[in-house]
Amino acid sequence: MSSPAATLTAPVAAAPAPTAPAAAPIAPRKALLDSLMPLLVDVGVPLASYYALKAAGLGTFGALAWSSVVPAVRAVWGVVCERRLNGLAALMVSVNAVSLLLGLVAGDPRLMLLKDSAVSSTIGLTFLVTALRGRPMMSAGLRPWLTRGEAAKSAAWERLSAGSSAFRRAEVRFSAVWGGALLAECAVRAVGAYTVPVETMVWAGTVVLMVAMVLAFVVSGRFAVAPMERMIEDEVRTAER
């Protein structure tokens, strides 16, 4: 049996150092909301405020003007303070500006039929130009749906967008398909406005728009979205090995 002195002089094992608590992972729902925030602020807020102001009794001109305040401020802030153009905010301001100008047009019913086409063509042309420049605007709206707020998929998107030419081409195709579809819709409605009876074109214009959107969904899904989903999943699996 050891003596009391030996017991007192025996080295005492150091207690393990407390470990810092692991950072709690970001909830997927919160991450998805964060990734959707630009769409909600730059597109959702202006649209919601426009319809709310119209429902409150404000005229079309005033509702368009006031609903442009938030995207206009965000576009200016991005250029002045962040040295970059907020594409979605600038697009909403442009669309509202076109709508305001077209709101001054009156008299010719066939010309009035072109108003909605002019708005959709502005959006389509913007999508197409950004795609041809290699900076597809619609990627900002597509990313939240493909990554679903998951950190691994968001990181995979970043890596693929920066280093995969195939992924970048798919991004470009997605914006190009939607831009082309909206421009084609505008062209069809423009021809119809001056060749089809006005009473027919009032409802046919909506049909043309819906057909164009369905075709854009199908084509972009087949040739852009599906390949991007596969590349993201492959990248996630590769990173986990």
The first and second tokens of residue 169, run together, are 């081409």
Spatial separation of the C-alpha atoms in residues 218 and 191, rounded to whole Å: 25
12: in domain: no
Spatial separation of the C-alpha atoms in residues 137 and 101, rounded to whole Å: 24
Amino acid, single-letter form, for residue 89: A
Spatial separation of the C-alpha atoms in residues 140 and 143, rounded to whole Å: 6
Of 48, 80, 104, which residue sits at a domain end?
104
Give me the long-range contacts of 12-17 (CB less than 8 A, separation at least 24).
none
39 pLDDT band, cuts 50/70/90, is low
pTM score: 0.70
Read off the pLDDT of residues 86-118 as tens digits, 9 standing for 90 and up. 666 777 777 777 777 776 665 567 777 777 677
Same domain, 87 and 47: yes
The pLDDT of residue 30 is above 70: no
41: in domain: yes
Q: What pLDDT is attached to residue 165?
A: 95
123: in domain: yes
Read off the pLDDT of residues 118-151 as tens digits, 9 standing for 90 and up. 778 888 888 898 898 888 988 888 888 898 888 8
Same domain, 65 and 162: no
Total number of domains in the chain: 2
Of 104, 128, 144, which residue sits at a domain end?
104
Same domain, 130 and 213: yes
86: in domain: yes
CB atoms within 10 A of CB 161: 14
Phi, psi of 156 (to 5 degrees): -65, -40
The first and second tokens of residue 239, run together, are 């990173």
Q: What pLDDT is attached to residue 25?
A: 46
4: in domain: no
125: in domain: yes
SS (H, E, C) the chain: CCCHHHHHHCCCCCCCCCCCCCCCCCCHHHHHHHHHHHHHHHHHHHHHHHHHHHHCCCCHHHHHHHHCHHHHHHHHHHHHHCCCCCHHHHHHHHHHHHHHHHCCCCCCHHHHHHHHHHHHHHHHHHHHHHHHCCCCCCHHHHHHHHHCCCHHHHHHHHHHHHHCHHHHHHHHHHHHHHHHHHHHHHHHHHHHHHHCCHHHHHHHHHHHHHHHHHHHHHHHHHHHHHHHHHHHHHHHHHHHC
Q: What pLDDT is attached to residue 66?
A: 83
5: in domain: no
CB atoms within 10 A of CB 35: 20
Same domain, 69 and 146: no
Which residue range forms the structural domain that includes residue 86?
Answer: 28-104
User: Of the given ranges (3-17, 107-121, 165-179, 193-207), which has the lowest mean pLDDT?
Assistant: 3-17
Spatial separation of the C-alpha atoms in residues 172 and 73, rounded to whole Å: 28
37 pLDDT band, cuts 50/70/90, is low
The pLDDT of residue 40 is above 80: no
Read off the pLDDT of residues 205-232 as tens digits, 9 standing for 90 and up. 888 888 998 999 999 999 999 999 999 9
Same domain, 120 and 95: no
Of 78, 104, 130, which residue sits at a domain end?
104
Same domain, 78 and 150: no
The first and second tokens of residue 9, run together, are 């002089």
Q: Looking at per-residue confidence, does 178 or 68 come out higher?
A: 178
Q: Looking at per-residue confidence, does 102 or 152 come out higher?
A: 152
